[in-house]
Structure 1
Amino acid sequence: MDVLIMVGQLILGLTILVGLHELGHMLAAKWFGMRVEKYAIGFPPKIFSKKIGETEYMLGMIPLGGFVKITGMVDESLDTEKLQEEPQPWEFRAKPAWQRLIVMMGGIIVNIITGIVIYVVLTYNYGESYLPASEARYGIIPNEIGQEIGFQTGDRIVAVNGKELEKFEDVYSMDMLLGRDAYYTVDRNGQRVDIQVPVDLMDRVADNKDRMFFVQPRIPFKVGEVQKNSAADKAGLESGDFIKSVNGESVSFFHEFQQALQKNAGKAVAMTVERNGNPVELNVNVSEEGTIGFYQEPLLQYATRDFSLGESIPKGTNQAFGVITANLKGFGKIFRGEVSAQKSLSGPIGIAQIFGDTFNWYKFWNITAMLSMVLAFMNFLPIPALDGGHVVFLTYEMISGRKPSDNFLENAQKVGMVILLGLMAFAIFNDVLKFF
């Protein structure tokens, strides 16, 4: 069932984005009087099709792309039979270069607009929830990667790249993960210490099960909901209790409490709690997994900020183009050899895992918006068979006044298809390899 939810979200998200992308091409082509033979979401075998006017609308069984077939255009179908004839007024090749350029940019433009609109709507409807840096005053806990970078337990992060930290989430920003010469400034026992971000940080977090959360704030806590008939319930633990020690070992933060339980997994422990200002002694049986059966209530106050529509538009737009900036930085690191393409790139399996095995509307649309911007970026790459490849040839034609021959375009399309199929095979194989 979990796998079905992941796959279902992937298919729904891709169907929306591919459908809108190809719609951008089709509407631009029809606007300029070009004949659109087919509009397809997904690849054959065919699930459904219906012809309306001159255009066949098709839904394919393989939901990993789509296409628009425009008469007189050398595309991925490599159908060049009609190109031997004189161009007709309704054909792609008969139109001015500037019109053909707009048609090829149509899908990219629609994906960018889609990403911006989704981010704006999410910002307006949900606002922003974040942990103020002032609430992380108890310092941080670094995991193994955080320790390798140079963080120590109890460090308080006060600045990123010399700018005062306002939201703790900025510790994980793409500027820090993908930037060059990035650094953190921490307060360590009253002394300010700069911690340089290694150029391969993205590689390191990709290898770690905790992903990018290489440091987390230390969290003071109290007991929240106690599960019925759990070891905590049977021992008399109550919601609102403050746990002070386990087997005489003081625990001020939740991670310390978890560590104490792990050390005593499968054993009974003596626990001191504070209840209504008074100490209470309890004996609790710890499970083999190192749990006793209650939910913590963090004592850190998260802040929420609401945005007006006027505020949401620039914020959502910046968030959308931030995805493209992050992709540019990521590719730059790959080309410079600072990060591994194998660890950084994901195919459909990896994308499905990003969606996750539970459905949440906010998360779904947030990921869909990100993918819309990624799709726009990837399609703009100057690779034949992608929109960006067509844009390069059309720009050359507009500047030089000479159109590349149909034979050249056909061969370029074949080369592009080989490159794309190779990249897709690499991404899928890479996804499978990550399971081992």
Structure 2
Amino acid sequence: METLLYIGGLLFMLVGLAVSIALHEIGHLVPAKLFGVRVGQYMIGFGPRVWSRRFGETEYGFKALPLGGYISMSGMYPPSTAGKPARGLFRTLVQDARSANDETIVDGDESGVFYRLPVWKRIIVMLGGPFMNLALAVVIFSVLLSGIGLEQGTTRIATVSECVLPAGSTQTMCTPDDPAAPAAEAGFMPGDTLISVDGEPMHDFAEATAIVQASPGVPLEVVVERAGEQQTLTLTPIAAERPMSDDAGRPLLDENGDRVTKTVGYAGLGAQIGFVPQPLTAGPELAAQNVSAVASLVINLPARLWDVGVSLFTGSERDPNGPLSVVGVGRIAGEVAATDAPVTNRLVFLLSLMGSLNIALFVFNLIPLLPLDGGHVVVALWDGLRRAWAKLARRPPPAPVDATRLVPLTVIVAVLLIGMGALLLVADLFNPVKLFG
């Protein structure tokens, strides 16, 4: 059974990746067609063709390796002009790119070519793919947080302490000398549902905790629902010293190295843990946080890859927040699917992983280097700046930017990307990220 669940997790991520790639390419395809560009192919995957069918001018299909996709637009670059035969490796690559580009311009008809579009339309076409991934991530995170909810303390009471135990004590049972807990004195019972505290409606246990901690010695009217009826209880939190922690959960220490404490109100209530739906703004906010985190990872990618290489050769533990290959993501998905955890928790983790994957596709494709989408945006912007300058200087419009001249740089970037993928693949096979020890 565990093996089947592991395979199920792998398949979930493979299907999710294929859907993410398909939507990315649709993000390019739809605006291209709306702007009148001829699109010869819409393909998911690379390598040998598995299936395809032509509808109108476009061939739609799947290829054997579902690790990417592409659309073939007519005239991505201006047609080449006659000149001397190419010599040398890079010149040959440039000429080959020009020849392949020329073949997309049907019978010299340039009415439906990409490079003739206004700059803003070219940018929309190229950004359409990454923004489809961003939109999908926002939808996934919104379903997670606003549909399923965030796992936290609910308004339903799970436990009521009978007494107040000293802070830091290992004592687990109450003694006759221990003072009664305020919640027990007030008449709270497990199964009660908090309706309001001090007149404030309660949506989760954290809200109640904040009011209680801010009110030591202050009587609070608490409305609970018990057996279908509402009751009003009077809760007077006692003052208690509690150790403080920072945002990362680490203990706060003073200048002498002693634990910093704070006097807060204490009641003795424990919440039932469950999934609490969050506001509709929570999904976009989580997506924005992920964008920031992935952008930071991309900026520091050389150092992160160096760490991956070191861990691969030394066998040291890898950073779980570092870069992963598709194999690494699939491996984690399989392990999560096979864990002994509630189905909802596993589904939440897998969907969260899929959302993060789409954020990574969004950020990575915005890198301003060819052959990535961000590189094509830079080419379009440069073309627009040249035309704007010529117009300002009252000069004739310049020839369109011939991006095939950047093929050598594109090849170098592609080789680096392949090298990065190979390193991560080997690392994920022989020294994978361990989430469960």
- For residues 114 and 403 of structure 2, what CA distance do their matches in structure 1 show? 12
Counterpart contact for 1:87–1:93, Cα < 8 Å: no
Shift of 1:66: 0.9
- Aligned partner of 1:5 in structure 2 is 8
Q: How does 1:33-182 map to 2 (within 5 A)?
A: 33-73=36-76, 80-81=98-99, 83-84=101-102, 88-130=110-152, 158-161=244-247, 171=249
The change in CA–CA distance for 1:18 and 1:302 in structure 2 (over 3 A counts) is: same
Shift of 1:43: 1.4
Counterpart contact for 1:39–1:69, Cα < 8 Å: yes
Counterpart contact for 2:369–2:413, Cα < 8 Å: yes
Counterpart contact for 1:333–1:339, Cα < 8 Å: no
Residue 260 of structure 2 aligns to a residue whose secondary structure is: strand
Q: Does 1:361 align with 2:383?
A: no
Shift of 1:303: 5.6
Residue 141 of structure 2 aligns to a residue whose secondary structure is: helix
Counterpart contact for 2:97–2:404, Cα < 8 Å: no
The change in CA–CA distance for 1:190 and 1:81 in structure 2 (over 3 A counts) is: closer
Residue 115 of structure 2 aligns to a residue whose secondary structure is: helix
Residue 252 of structure 2 aligns to a residue whose secondary structure is: strand
The change in CA–CA distance for 1:398 and 1:9 in structure 2 (over 3 A counts) is: same
- Aligned partner of 2:177 in structure 1 is none
Q: AA paired with 1:370?
A: S
Counterpart contact for 2:305–2:420, Cα < 8 Å: no
- Aligned partner of 2:324 in structure 1 is 346
Deviates more, 1:399-408 or 1:14-23: 399-408
The change in CA–CA distance for 1:186 and 1:330 in structure 2 (over 3 A counts) is: farther
Quote the sequence identity (%).
25
- For residues 378 and 418 of structure 1, what CA distance do their matches in structure 2 show? 16
Counterpart contact for 2:27–2:131, Cα < 8 Å: yes
- For residues 189 and 386 of structure 1, what CA distance do their matches in structure 2 show? 51
- For residues 306 and 49 of structure 2, what CA distance do their matches in structure 1 show? 40
Correspondent of 2:370 among 378, 381, 384: 384
For residues 366-390 of structure 1, what are the alpha-carbon distances to aligned partners after superposition, in whole Å with 9 as ceiling and x for unaligned?
Answer: 2111111111011111221111111
Q: Does 1:393 align with 2:379?
A: yes
The change in CA–CA distance for 1:33 and 1:409 in structure 2 (over 3 A counts) is: farther
The change in CA–CA distance for 1:419 and 1:191 in structure 2 (over 3 A counts) is: closer
Shift of 1:396: 1.9
For residues 86-128 of structure 1, what are the alpha-carbon distances to aligned partners after superposition, in whole Å with 9 as ceiling and x for unaligned?
Answer: 5611011221222111111010111111111111122222111
The change in CA–CA distance for 1:22 and 1:330 in structure 2 (over 3 A counts) is: same
Larger Rg: 2
- For residues 386 and 325 of structure 1, what CA distance do their matches in structure 2 show? 19
Shift of 1:51: 0.5
Shift of 1:184: 5.2
Q: AA paired with 2:334?
A: G
Counterpart contact for 1:43–1:64, Cα < 8 Å: yes
For residues 110-147 of structure 1, what are the alpha-carbon distances to aligned partners after superposition, in whole Å with 9 as ceiling and x for unaligned?
Answer: 11111111111222221111269xx9x988xxxxxxxx
Residue 380 of structure 2 aligns to a residue whose secondary structure is: helix
For residues 262-299 of structure 1, what are the alpha-carbon distances to aligned partners after superposition, in whole Å with 9 as ceiling and x for unaligned?
Answer: xxxxxxxxxxxxxxxxxxxxxxxxxxxxxxxxxxxxx8
Task: Flag structure 1 segments of 5+ consecutive residues without an equivalent.
Answer: 140-155, 162-169, 172-182, 194-298
Counterpart contact for 2:148–2:275, Cα < 8 Å: no
Q: Does 1:419 align with 2:419?
A: no
Counterpart contact for 2:32–2:39, Cα < 8 Å: yes
**What is the TM-score when the length of structure 2 is the normalising length?**
0.59
- For residues 338 and 64 of structure 1, what CA distance do their matches in structure 2 show? 20
Shift of 1:321: 1.2
Q: How many equivalent residue pairs?
A: 295
- Aligned partner of 2:286 in structure 1 is 319
The change in CA–CA distance for 1:11 and 1:411 in structure 2 (over 3 A counts) is: same
- Aligned partner of 2:188 in structure 1 is none
Q: How does 1:230-241 map to 2 (within 5 A)?
A: none
Residue 376 of structure 2 aligns to a residue whose secondary structure is: helix
The change in CA–CA distance for 1:21 and 1:334 in structure 2 (over 3 A counts) is: closer
- Aligned partner of 1:329 in structure 2 is 296
For residues 195-228 of structure 1, what are the alpha-carbon distances to aligned partners after superposition, in whole Å with 9 as ceiling and x for unaligned?
Answer: xxxxxxxxxxxxxxxxxxxxxxxxxxxxxxxxxx
- For residues 100 and 411 of structure 1, what CA distance do their matches in structure 2 show? 23
Shift of 1:35: 0.6
- Aligned partner of 2:425 in structure 1 is 428
Shift of 1:302: 2.8
